[in-house]
Amino acid sequence: MAATPDEFLRAGDFLADAEPFSPSLFLDLPPTPSPPRAPFAPASDDLDFISRMLMEEDIDDKFFYQYPEAEKNHRKGTGKAARGRRGASEVDLRTMLIHCAQAVATGDHRGSNELLRQIKQHSSPKGDATQRLAYCFAEGLEARLAGTGSHVYQSLVAKSTSVGEFLRAYKLYMAASSFRKVNFIFVGKIIMDAMVGKSRLHIVDYNVEYGFQWPGLLQMLAEREGGPPEVRITGIDVPQPGFRPAFQIEETGRRLSKCAQEFGVPFKYHGIPAKLETVHAEDLNIDPDEVLIVTSQCGFSNLMDESVIMDRQDIPSPRDMVLSNIRNMRPDVFIDCVVNGTYSAPFFVTRFREALFTYSAQFDMLDATIPRDNDDRLLIERDIFGPCALNVIACEGADRVDRPETYKQWQVRGHRAGLRQVPLSSAVVKLVKDKVKSLYHKDFLIDVDNRWLLQGWKGRVLYAMSTWVAGDHDNSKF
C-alpha cells in the first residue's frame, strides 16, 4: 500500500520534516584538489554539511529567527520589500533595458553606451527588485556590446564560491523559495509509491551534479516498513574540463555511498561522465527485476536545440535523442522536471524581452521574501541568476547553453519520442499544495495543467514536473 501524505511527511519530507544527518557522515574522506566548478558550487568535501542542512526539520523557523522581519513578508507579502516596490523610482528601467537591447542588436554603439550609462546610474545590486534586475542585465548587455560574452561567462563558470558563502546562501534560498523543496517532495513521493512491495530500485539520474536530492530518499527507504530495498543509482553528467573529467561525478557517488552506509541501505553507484544524449539503454545494465526510475531535474534545458543543428537535417536534436533513449530504457516511470521559459529564440531582442520577464519574477520573489540588506541574497542573485542571465544575453551559438522551452513544447517532444504521459497522483499534488500554502509566501504559484505540476510566482510559470512511461508500457501498478 502506498504511503499516505501524512505518513510520507512523518517518514521524511527531505527538507522540512526529516532528522539531520549524523555529524560523522562523510568526514573520513581525504581532501582532493577541486577542478573548476560551476557557478555557486561548493567544494566537494563539504557536501555533508549541505546534506544535513537540507534535512533540517526547522529550516523555515531558523530562517525567520535570524530575520524576524521577513516572516510577515514571507507569508503575507507585506513589509518593507513590498512597500519599496510600490514606491519604486519613476525611472522605467525595464523599458530602458529593452531600448538598450534594441540598440545593441542594431549595432548602435553610441546609443547603447548612453542607455547603459543611464541604467547603471539608476540600478544597484543592493536596491529593490527592479534595480537589482537592471544591474544584472546591464552586465550582460555590456558584455554583448564588447563581444566578450563567452569569455566573461567562462570566467564566471570557473569561479569558485567559498563553502561558507554557499552554505548560507543555499539554505536561505531553500527557506525563502518553494521551488526546490517541492521538486524534492514530488520526486521522492513518486519513487516511494513505485517501491511499494518491491525490493530493488535503480535510479538513472540525468544531471546528477552533487546529488542533493537523494540523501532524503535514502533515509526514507531505510525507514520504510519491511526494511530498505537494494538501491542502485546511475548518475549521468557532462564531463568536466581538464585532466579529471569524471572527478565531480565520482565524488558524488562516494558521498552517496557513505550516506547509504550510514542509513543501512544496500547501495551501488555508477557514474557516467558523458553528453546526456549519448547515453543509451545498453550503457545502464538494466535488470528487469529492478524498479527503474529515470529522472531529469531541469537539466535538459542545457541541451542544444534545432537552431544550432539546422544545417544538418540528418541529425536529430539532442533533446529528441535523449527522450528517445529514455523511451528505449522502458522505465517504470520517467520523472521530468523542466525550466519553463520562452527565452530560447534565436532573435536577440525577442529572447532578451522574454528573459527580462522571467528574471523579473525571480528577483521579485526574492524581494518579497528576503530582506534587501541580506548579504546571502546578494550571493544568490550574483552567483546563481547572474551567470545564467549573462549567458542568455551575451552568448550565441553553441556558447549559449541556457535554452529553456515551455512545458507544452516538452510535452510535444515527449509524445513525438514515443513516451506516454501518465496522470499525476492526486495525493502528491495535494501534498505539495498544502506544503506551499502553509509554509511559503501567498504569491507562490502551485497548479496543475494537462498532467503537469506547475510552479511559479505571481502567475508566471517558472518550473513544471510530469511523469511518463514508454508508449506501450503497462503502468497499471501506478
Going by DSSP bridges, is the β-strand pair 267-273/419-422 parallel, antiparallel, or unpaired?
A: unpaired
**Least confident residue range of 116-125, 225-234, 247-256, 320-329:** 247-256
Per-residue pLDDT at 321 exceeds 60? yes
**How far is 80 from 282, CA to CA, in rounded Å?**
56
**Least confident residue range of 35-49, 91-105, 135-149:** 35-49
**Least confident residue range of 10-24, 64-78, 394-408, 434-448:** 10-24
More confident residue, 235 or 16: 235
Is residue 185 within 8 A of residue 193, CB to CB? The reply is: no
Residues pairing with 253 in the sheet: none
Q: Which CATH number is correct for 5-16+178-341+404-470, 3.90.1150.10, 3.90.1200.10, 3.40.50.150, 3.90.209.20?
A: 3.40.50.150
Angle of CA points 229, 232, 236, to nearest 5°? 150
Average pLDDT, whole number, for the chain? 82
Q: Taking the domains of the chain in order of start, what are their residue ranges?
A: 5-16+178-341+404-470, 67-163+346-399
* pLDDT class of 18 with cuts at 50, 70, 90: very low
* pLDDT class of 324 with cuts at 50, 70, 90: very high
Q: What's the predicted TM-score (pTM) here? A: 0.83
Q: What pLDDT digit, counting tens, does each position of 371-394 carry?
A: 999 989 998 999 889 999 999 999
Buried/exposed 175-214: b ≥16 CB within 10 Å, e otherwise: bbbbbbbbbbbbbbbbbbbbbeeeeebbbbbbbbbbbbbb
Q: Looking at residues 401-421, what average pLDDT do you find? A: 96
Mapped onto helix, strand or coil, the DSSP state of residue 91 is coil
* pLDDT class of 475 with cuts at 50, 70, 90: low
pLDDT at 19: 33
* pLDDT class of 46 with cuts at 50, 70, 90: very low
**How far is 422 from 470, CA to CA, in rounded Å?**
10
Q: Looking at residues 216-222, what average pLDDT do you find? A: 95
pLDDT at 209: 84
Angle of CA points 294, 328, 420, to nearest 5°? 70
Per-residue pLDDT at 113 exceeds 70? yes
The contacts of residue 238 (CB under 8 Å, 6+ apart) are 273, 274, 275, 276
Alpha helices in 159-272 (DSSP H): 163-176, 179-194, 215-223, 247-263
